[in-house]
Chain A
Amino acid sequence: MSVGLVLVSHSRALAQGLADVARQMAPSVSIVPAGGTDDGGIGTSFDLISAAIAQADQGDGAILLYDLGSGYLTASTAVEFLDPEQAERVVIVDAPLVQGAVSAAISSQVGGDLRAVVSGALEARRADGPGGVRSLDDLDG
C-alpha cells in the first residue's frame, strides 16, 4: 500500500494529463484524476472526487491537490462527507498542482507516509527549479 493522490481539476484532460506525468516517476502509486464535471464539461464534480478518493485511499490515506478555488470547495465538501475514520487520513493540500503532484507522487513511491507525502507536495513551492524568473526582482535585474 501507499499514500494515494487525487488530482482535482476543472478539466478532465488536465487532470488526466497530469496523472500521466506523475505516474512516470511513481508507477506503483494510486494517482487518480478527478477533472471536469460528470459529463466532461469544465467544472468540478463532487461525485467524481468522492469516487477518486475511494480509489486513491487504500488504507494509508490520500492527498488531494486542486487547480482553482472552486476545486477546493468541492474537494472539501467531499472530504466532509467521508466517514470520520477515513476523513482523518484524507488531506487537501494547497500546493502548485503540477509540481506538487510530481513531488508528492515521488514521496509516496519511495514509501513516505501521509505526513511525508503532504510535505512532498508542499516542498514543490520551495524546490529550487531549473531556472526562470522566480520573483519580480529577477525580472528587473
Chain B
Amino acid sequence: MVCDAATTVAAIRAVAATVAEHRVELTHLDRDIGDGDHGENLSRGFTAVITKLAAGSPETPTAVLKLVATTLISTVGGASGPLFGTAFLRASTSVGAAETLDGTAVAAALTAARDGVVARGKAESGDKTMVDALTPAVNAANAAADGGRGVPEVLSAAADAAADGAVATTPMQARKGRASYLGERSIGHVDPGAQSTAYLLRALAGAAAG
C-alpha cells in the first residue's frame, strides 16, 4: 500500500466514521468528568472536514492534514479543537512536501503531533489527558519505524499503545482540563480525550491495513 494523498483522505474518512460511531459514548465519558460535549464537538468537526473534502481533495498528504487542522480549529468549539487541530497542523508540517509517506515519516508526524499537543495544552504524562494515549502511541510508532516497519505496522502499534494508554487513565486523578476541578472524584473514569485519541489512531491503522 502506498500512503499518498488519496489514502490519507481515505484514512481521514475512516476517522470521521469512527467519531460518528462513538459520538454518544464519548459524550457520555465527558459527562462523567467534564462538560459533556466531547462526542458532539468532535463529530461536528469531522463532519465539517468531510464536507470540505467533498468540495475538492487536496493533492498532497500535507495539504490533507492541513485542511483537517484548520477545519477542526474553526468548528469544534471545545478544547479538542485547538488540541486536535494543533496535532494535525504539526503533522502536516512534519510530512512536508512528500508525495508519499513511509513508516518513518508517519512516526515522525505522530511525534510532531504529540509535541504540538503538549506545547498547546501544557499537559504532562499522568495528568489524565489525551497525552496519556498519544505518548505511548508515539513511543510504539517510533519503535516500529526504527525496526523498519511500514505504515500499517507503525499505525497499528500506535493504536494498540494508545488503547492501553486510554485504559490506564482510569485510575488517574485529572490535573488538567475541566476534569481537574473534580479532584479525586475524577478517579475511576476513562479520560474522554485519551479515548477519542485511541479511536482516531485505531481508525487510521484500520485504513492503512486496507
Contacts and interface: CB of A to CB of B under 8 A. Distances in A.
A interacts with B:
yes
Contacts of A86: none
B82 A74 contact: yes
Contacts of B132: none
A77 B176 contact: no
A34 to B, nearest CB: 13
Nearest to A74: B82
Interface in A23-42: 37-38, 41-42
A73 B82 contact: yes
Nearest to B69: A77
A73 B121 contact: yes
Interface residues on B, range: 10 to 19
A76 B178 CA distance: 17
Given A41-B77, A46-B82, A68-B178, 17 more contacts: A37-B77, A38-B75, A42-B37, A43-B37, A43-B77, A44-B77, A45-B74, A69-B176, A69-B177, A69-B178, A70-B177, A73-B81, A73-B82, A73-B121, A74-B81, A77-B85, A77-B86
Interface of B: 35, 37, 41, 73-75, 77-79, 81-83, 85-86, 120-121, 176-178
18 contacts: A41-B77, A43-B41, A43-B78, A44-B78, A45-B77, A46-B73, A46-B82, A69-B176, A69-B178, A70-B78, A70-B79, A70-B82, A70-B177, A73-B82, A74-B82, A76-B82, A76-B120, A77-B85
